[in-house]
Amino acid sequence: SNDMAKITVLYFAGASTATGRYEDTVTLPMTPFPLSSLASHLNSLYPGTGLDKVLATSTWSVNEEMVYEPATCHLKGGEEVAIIPPVSGG
C-alpha cells in the first residue's frame, strides 16, 4: 500500500524541552527509512528549537532496544523510537 508509514517518537529531557512534547507521531518520508536520517528529519519538523543540538549527543532506542549503529537500523513504520539524551550529573 502507499500509506505513509508512521512511527511514534518519545522525547526525554532536553528533547522534550526543545519540542515542547513528550510524544509525537511522525510520518516517515519513505520506507524503509534509515534511523541515521531521522535526526535531520526531526530537525526539519522543529526548526530553531535547539533540538538539533540535543540529537547530536543523544542515543536512540527502537522498541525499547538501544541502537548503537543507527545506519544499520531501518524503520518500516509502527516502531516506537525514543531519543535518549546523555545523562548529565548535577
Distance from chain centroid for Cα 67: 11
The pLDDT value recorded for residue 58 is 94
Delineate the domains of the chain, giving CATH numbers in brackets: 6-84 (3.10.20.30)
- C-alpha triplet 8, 28, 79: angle, nearest 5°: 35
Give the pLDDT of the chain (90 residues) as one tens digit per residue. Answer: 456 799 999 999 999 999 999 999 999 999 999 999 999 999 999 999 999 999 999 999 999 999 999 999 999 999 999 999 887 665
pTM tops 0.85, yes or no: yes
Are 77 and 28 spatial neighbours (Cβ–Cβ below 8 Å)?
yes
Going by their DSSP bridges, the two strands 33-34 and 74-75 should be labelled as: antiparallel
